[in-house]
Structure formats: C-alpha cells, structure tokens
Amino acid sequence: LIMVVVWEWLNEHGRWRPYSAAVCHHIENVLKGDARGTVILGQVDPQLAPYVIDLQSMHQFRQDTGTMRPVQRNFYDPSSAPGKGIVWEWENDCGSWTPYDMELCVSIQNAYEKQHPWLDLSSLGFSYVVDFDGMSQTNRQSQRKRRIRRRMDLAYPLIAGSIPKSQSWPVGTSSGLPCTCQQCMLVHSTRAASNAILALQQRRKLGHHNNISVGGGGGGGKVEMNGVNFPCGPAIVTLPSKYSLTINGQNNLNRPGTQRITVTASRGTVPPGVPALPVKNLTGSGQVHPALAGMTGILMCAAGLPVCLTRAPKPILHPPPISKTDLKPVPGINSIRRKTKKKHLRKGKNPEDVVRRYTEKIKTAPDEDCTICMERLATASGYDGVLSYKGFKPELVGKLGKCGHMYHLLCLVAMYNNGNKDGSLQCPTCKAIYGEKTGTQPPGKMEYHVIPHSLPGCSDTKTIRIIYDIPAGIQTTEHPNPGKKYSARGFPRHCYLPDNEKGRKVLKLLIMAWDRRLIFTIGTSSTTGETDTVVWNEIHHKTEFGSNLTGHGFPDPNYLDNVMRELAAQGVGEDNLKD
C-alpha cells in the first residue's frame, strides 16, 4: 500500500493546517533516522526558524515564545492533490495567498478534475462556494468574494507498506549524536533533562532522596546516582508537585558537556555556588536560553509532568473600572443606544418587482456567459424549468443600471430568492449594491459612549466604547435552519474606537450597519466550529482595549480606513451619511 504523507499542525481555531511539501519531506527524513528525534524546521524553511517539532510528544514548539501546538501525520491517496503537488490557495486581506486546509484542497481538486463549474463547501463546514470559471470563493452569507488560485509545487512524500499507527512517548532510542550547531546542542541538552526526570522516577521507586546531576553533553547516555547507573530507558511515573526542575550554568550553550541540570526538592537547598533558575522563567531575562528551558518542558509535558513553559502576556480586553458618571455621549451623535426587535425584521418583497426596478431589458444579448447560470446569454437561462415566472421568459436578458453587467432576468430572480429578500440586489460580478442591503442579524441592542481612557497609539484622544448584546433565540425563515435554536456566545461584546473625527464617522456608519442588521449573522464560528451561533459578518471590530496581541487591538493606523472599506462593501458608505 502506497500513501501520501502530510504533516499538519493544529491552529487556534481548531483546524489542522498543512506544512509545505518541502517541510514534510524534511520531517520524514528525520523520522526515518530517529523516531524520537527533534525536527528543526528552520533547516528547510527560513521563515520557520523559531519552530521545532518533538516527535516523541508530537508537538510543535516555538522557541522564542514557548508556544506549543499538537502536530499529526495524515495520509492521502497518491492520486489526490498532495500526491500530485497541487496546492489551492485563497487571497487574504493582506493580498498574500493562504493555502486551504488539506481536506478542502483535496475536495476542491477532485471537483476541478471532474470539471464541475463550482463547489459548495457547506458539507465540509464552510459557508463558501468555489467558482472554478471565475477562480473565486464567495461567502454564501455576506456574498463577499475572494480570488483563489491553483499552483503546482513539490509533491508530498510517499510511504510504502502498512500505515503506521501513532506512537506514544517515549519512542525508540536515539540513533546518533546531533551536530554541533547551537540548535542541536539545545536539543541534546533537552535530552539530558528528560533523562534526569526518568532517573528521578527510578530513584523514587528505590527510596533514594539525594539530588541528581546530569552531564549535558558527555554523559554517554547514563545518569549517575550514588554509584548506581540507570540506563536512560522509559519509565513514566507522575512527579509530585513538591519537586521542580532547575537548570544551572551560564553562557554554556555552545560548549558540550558543560550544562548541568539539577533536580531538587522545591524546599530543599541548592548546592553551594550553583545558581538556580526555574524552567518557567522564559522571559529571556534569566541565565538560561528560553529554547533550552522550553524544549525541556516539552518532554516533561510528554511524560505527564506538570510544567509551566511560559507566562505569555494576556490581552488587555477592558479598560480600568469606570463609574457611570464618567460615561459621556459621543459628540455629534444624539442617542446612546439602538435596539433591533422582531418587529424590525423586514418582510420579503416581490422578486419580479425588485429585478424590474434595477434592470433594463436588452433586445440583443451579447455573445458572453451569464455568470449566474454559466449559460450563454443568447440561450435560455439555466433556471428554465426550475423557476417559472409569468413576467420573465427564460431567454430574457437584463442590464443592471449602475454597473451595466448583464444577466438572464430569471437568473437574477433566482439569486434574489436565494438571498435575504430585502428589496435590494447585489451584482455578483462587481458587488455593486442596488437599493438598501439588509442582513439577517438577530434581535439585540447596541450601546455607545465615550470613556475617559486612551487607546494605545491614540494617547491624545479619549475612547468610544461600543457594547453589543444579542441573546440566544430561535432562527426564523431568513436564517440557515428555521425553527432551530441559535446560541450567542461571548455577549455582551465590547469594541473600541478612538474618539476623534474619523472614529466618530466610523461609529455613525456602524450604527447604520446595525440598523440594517449587517454587523452579525447566524452561521458557523470560525474560532470554535460551533454551528447555529451568532458570528461577526465581515465587518471587523477591535475588541482589545489595551493591547494588540491577537490583532484585534491598537495601535493599528490602517484600521479605520479598512473598516470603512468593509462597510462600503456592505452598501454603508460615507455618501449615506449625507443622506
């Protein structure tokens, strides 16, 4: 049996993201040589220089921050996309290209090879439609379109024989000594740390309580204790919390055999003249390189030992406590809250009337495709026989007034029926909006006021705080699953803008978007994967008050301009403020 091997890592959204083919070949080569080895990803991809993979615990470790993520070894058919070296990617907000998850990539390539005109990704948990003719991806809920591309790359590695099962720690034995580069020296020192842990576990079985010291580079694979030698073999026993691992020595990372790792009781005494440093000190201010301490922690975690790799900074989501008397109205805005109730939900309008309002009939159709049904405009609509409207014959063609793009009128009716039925049309080619676009946001309330604190990078202004609050409820006919309950996680949600002229303008546009029910929708959470829940609707908000650790905070000099473009794409532009 021959299969393609793809190594993947788990991101913060719970999705398995593939490494590149070159990286996977590198991992497989290391795996063949040492099943319990450590893979230094920077050796094959300079952009991955901070990352290593520990094959024993199946975790990726970032040396400069201490972040750990699970990895997995997945298998696909040799005739699939990874076996042929085909990569499908979508264009992100920065204009660069992001590869699809391998599961999606395989499905997209299968549909492409079968010459399907499009592929609906709903069955795979994503509300997107891939259009192969236009090489684009469209969000079914927001109708936002992104470019996609298909490119050739190195094929992923092949393995023959039975598919190996996942291996638990520890696995095998080391097949040789590492090289003398600094990263390999760090890895070798980490191995010494794990040997010390295993030796301590053996000693506890024998009732010994003395300190254990382990040579970092020249110990020959043995740990010496009171004249008794224990091999560095596997022995997994939980270490009590009264023990802690300390790493000693200074500026010894490049000298084999000089590192010393000492395991002591936390209340015991450290040998005279030997400075101690806890593993959890990964701030970079201590004597031990963060990577050495962190990789030691990897093996400790794999052995089931309690360890704190790093105390990563937490995002500052909220300002200091504020009294109600300090909350002030936003200058230039009369109200302080908006509410959306069930009675505000708009009823559908006659599809034929809407299409007639924004189009004009074309007597002679041009020799081009209708991008909705993909049939020629000179022939009948692809919805002929599917939809039947007395006022629209299948061969009638109309031109949209502002942008001039042409479609079968029956196709426009079908598109309208598949949308929000709010009396507006959006051109599927250029996204021009006709009428007032509204969304499917469930009932809730929006509050806004000025607080006497400044955002990072905006020290000369106060801050506008927006509070959205939407309760859970029952989906209606405009939602994905009418009659089914929807959840509302994380409410009330607090968002922030600088209290300056442009920030107030953005607030006015956000209020308008709220009134049109465009801020939220009901769908699948990209963070948790939960379905039938309230999610953001393509209009980005800043939810960190005093930091920008997640990218949802300040400083961000381009945010106000970016969010105004996103609002304009939803039909909420500056020209609406004049009206």
Q: What string of pLDDT tens digits covers the 579 residues of the chain?
A: 789 999 999 987 788 999 999 999 999 999 988 888 889 998 888 888 888 998 888 898 887 677 788 999 999 999 999 999 999 999 987 788 999 999 999 999 999 999 999 999 887 878 899 999 999 999 888 888 999 999 999 999 998 876 554 433 333 333 344 444 444 444 444 445 445 545 555 555 555 544 433 333 333 333 333 333 333 333 332 333 333 333 333 333 333 333 333 333 333 333 343 333 343 333 444 444 555 555 666 666 555 555 554 445 678 889 999 998 999 999 999 888 888 765 444 555 788 889 999 999 888 888 888 988 888 999 998 888 777 676 788 889 999 998 999 999 999 988 888 777 888 888 988 888 898 888 899 999 999 999 999 999 999 999 999 999 999 999 998 888 999 999 999 999 999 999 999 999 999 999 999 999 999 999 888 777 788 999 999 899 999 999 888 788 999 999 999 999 999 988 999 888 865
pLDDT of residue 416: 87
Task: Say how far residue 319 (Cα) sits from the centre of its chain.
Answer: 26
Distance between alpha carbon 75 and the CA centroid of its chain, in Å? 23
What is the structure's pLDDT at 304?
58
Task: Give me the pLDDT at residue 341, please.
Answer: 61
The reported pLDDT for the residue numbered 163 is 59
Cα distance between the two ends of the chain: 68
Residue (of 431, 418, 509) closest to 466 by Cα position? 509
Angle between helical axes of 351-358 and 409-417 (0-180°, round to 10): 130
Closest CA to 450 of 483, 487, 497: 497
Residue 326 in tokens:
């300090």
> pTM of the entire structure?
0.50
Distance of alpha carbon 483 from alpha carbon 522, whole angstroms: 13
- Predicted pLDDT at 247: 34
Any alpha helices (H) in 439-500, and if so which ranges? none
pLDDT at residue 556, rounded to an integer = 92
Structure tokens at 253: 């990372």
CB-based contact 129:116 (threshold 8 Å)? no
**CA 499 to CA 464: how far, in whole Å?**
5
Residues 6 or more apart whose Cβ sits within 8 Å of residue 424 = 354, 433, 434, 435, 436, 437, 438, 571
Burial 140-157 (b: 16+ CB within 10 A, else e): bbbbbbeebeeeeeebbb
Residue 512 has a pLDDT of: 94
Taking the C-alpha atoms of residue 269 and residue 247, their distance in angstroms, rounded to an integer, is 14
Tokens representing residue 107 in the block = 């499905």
At 546, the amino acid letter reads G
Ramachandran quadrant class, 260 (left: phi over 0; alpha: psi -120 to 50; beta: rest): beta
Q: Where are the beta strands (DSSP E) in 349-489?
A: 359-362, 397-400, 406-408, 425-426, 433-434, 444-451, 463-469, 473-474, 485-486
